[in-house]
Amino acid sequence: MAGLGWLAPDILAHLDDTSDFYLDQVAQVVMDRWSSGRAGLLGDAAFSSSPMSGQGTGLALVGAYVLAGELAAAEWDPGTGFARYESRMRSYVEANQEIGRLNARSRDVPRPDTEPLPDFAGEWFTELVGRAINGIELPDYAGAPDSAAPAGS
């Protein structure tokens, strides 16, 4: 915090004496896979785009729709349904996670050893935003079985 100026030195001088100071971090967990056996993750538990992406609720809603649809389309076979869900969602989720990381980096206090931010005017950024917004095609699961009970149960 050295060199920040403004009121930073005064604030720092009083932190040890305050009884109501709270500090936490904004973090993002990136997982290699979102399921194991019959257990699957959804929303922040799977995608962790972070509050810095602004996409937590949207990803959770899209993910719930796709997960339910892919499980139904796989006739409730978890291995097949989870694999299709992840395959359909992965690129879309990764783009939103990257938006969160870029937003967090853009708020960092610059230091001499900090990497400069990328040029957001580049075509790469337009492509990334496009994938984060429109990066998934939502299938029509109208013909999928509508019961969570496996056939023959």
Residue pLDDT, tens place only, 88-143? 999 999 999 998 888 888 877 777 787 888 888 889 999 998 888 888 999 999 98
Please give the model's pTM, rounded to 2 decimal places. Answer: 0.76
DSSP string, the chain: -TT--TTHHHHHHHGGG-SS-----------S-SEETTEE--THHHH---TTTT-HHHHHHHHHHHHHHHHHHTTT-HHHHHHHHHHHHHHHHHHHHHHHHHHHHHTSPP-TTSPPPP-TTSHHHHHHHHHHHH-------TTS---SSPTT-
Q: How much is the pLDDT for 120?
A: 84
Please write the tens of the pLDDT for every residue from 28-74. 888 999 999 999 999 989 988 777 788 888 899 999 999 999 999 99
What pLDDT is recorded for position 21?
Answer: 84
What is the per-residue pLDDT for 55?
Answer: 85
